[in-house]
């Protein structure tokens, strides 16, 4: 019997990884690739009585795989770093290369890499989400997906209170670039060829990309399967376009050489 695949979606914030995860979950045959290694990991390790990372991941695969045995999870780059630090506390994993650690934790592992070429819009989306605490809007619902700041008790800004801040957006722009570069080096150094999803190409080919990924994983799906529309809607608006233009103007000005005195 062929072992069902496990897969990890590795990404940076606001790159389209949530949209991809929703499409995969909607197929009913590709697990439920959510963030299982963020702030909730310690809670579930205690609740499940799985004090070690190998025990936790084994339990996670058991309870979150779809009936065909396929398990998927989403990892932001920072979560991958935290996962590595946690794994190296285990004597059996401490001295292994990161790629081998992940294969030990997730047998028959496949990697999916989600990127967004337009780093300006990615950084602005990231910055706005941090300000408002809103990380997603379900289609047809009034509820929004709030982030960690809200859970800590911080009061997020209302949409009308958003403030453009060049340095804050630029910092996230550089972070997105640096993390994508680090992910690329990890794959190259490890000899891994991931399934690469680029948001600008994926968004208009939502269903086709999900089915392409299923075929790459070797996962069979019903021949008549049709995906529902994505559950979340775009949060970008006219303000986003104004911020993009303003940021690019300032970014260009910052790279120009200083004028010589007349």
Does residue 1 belong to any structural domain of this protein?
A: no
**What is the four-CA torsion angle of 44, 76, 84, 52, rounded to 10 degrees?**
10
Provide the pLDDT for residue 149. Answer: 45
Element (H, E) at 144: strand 144-146
Domain presence at residue 262: no
pLDDT digits (tens, 9 = 90+) for 187-223: 999 999 999 999 999 989 999 999 999 999 999 988 8
Q: Name the band, by pLDDT with cuts 50, 70 and 90, for residue 239.
A: confident
Is residue 202 within 8 A of residue 209, CB to CB? The reply is yes
For the segment 152-174, the average pLDDT, to the nearest whole number, is 76
Provide the domain count of the chain. Answer: 1
Structure tokens at 95: 């001295």
Q: Is residue 213 included in any domain, yes or no?
A: yes
Tell me the C-alpha distance between 84 and 6, whole Å: 18
At 162, is the pLDDT very low, low, confident or very high (cuts 50, 70, 90)?
confident
Question: What pLDDT was estimated at residue 261?
Answer: 56
Q: What is the pLDDT of residue 131?
A: 82
259 falls within a domain: no
136 inside domain = yes
Which DSSP state fits 197? E
The CATH number given to whatever domain includes residue 243 is 3.40.50.300
Please report whether residue 73 resides in a domain: yes
Average pLDDT over every residue of 28-43: 93
Mean pLDDT of the chain: 87
pLDDT (average), residues 145-166: 59
Is 126 part of a structural domain of the chain? Answer: yes
Residue range(s) defining the domain that contains residue 205: 6-253
pLDDT at 137 over 50: no
Q: 56, 40 in Cβ contact below 8 A? A: no
Give the position of tokens 């990309």. Answer: 209
Tell me if 258 is assigned to some domain: no
Task: Say how far apart CA 205 and CA 209 lie, in whole Å.
Answer: 6
pTM: 0.86
Checking if the pLDDT of 148 tops 60, the result is no
Each residue's pLDDT tens digit, 46-73:
999 999 999 999 999 999 999 999 999 9
């Amino acid at each position: 019997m062929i072992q069902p695949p496990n897969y990890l979606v590795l990404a940076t914030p606001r790159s389209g990884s949530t949209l991809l995860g929703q499409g995969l979950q909607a197929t009913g045959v590709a697990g439920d690739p959510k963030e299982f290694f963020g702030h909730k990991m310690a809670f579930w390790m205690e609740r499940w009585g799985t004090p070690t990372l190998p025990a936790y991941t084994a339990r996670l695969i058991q309870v979150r795989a779809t009936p065909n045995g396929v398990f998927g999870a989403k990892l932001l780059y920072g979560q991958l770093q935290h996962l590595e630090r946690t794994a190296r506390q285990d004597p059996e994993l401490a001295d292994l290369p990161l790629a081998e650690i992940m294969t030990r934790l997730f047998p028959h592992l496949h990697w999916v890499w989600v990127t967004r070429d337009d780093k300006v819009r990615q950084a602005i989306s990231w910055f706005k989400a941090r300000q408002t605490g809103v990380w997603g809007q379900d289609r047809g619902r009034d509820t929004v997906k709030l982030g960690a700041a809200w859970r800590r008790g911080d009061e997020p800004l209302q949409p009308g209170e958003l403030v453009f801040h060049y340095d804050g957006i630029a910092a996230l722009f550089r972070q997105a670039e640096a993390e994508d570069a680090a992910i690329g080096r990890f794959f190259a150094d490890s000899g891994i060829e991931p399934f690469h999803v680029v948001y600008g190409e994926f968004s208009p080919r939502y269903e086709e990309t999900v089915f392409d990924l299923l075929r790459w994983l070797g996962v069979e799906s019903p021949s008549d399967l049709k995906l529902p529309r994505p559950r979340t809607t775009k949060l970008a608006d006219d303000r986003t376009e104004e911020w993009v233009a303003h940021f690019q103007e300032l970014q260009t000005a910052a790279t120009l050489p200083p004028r010589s005195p007349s």
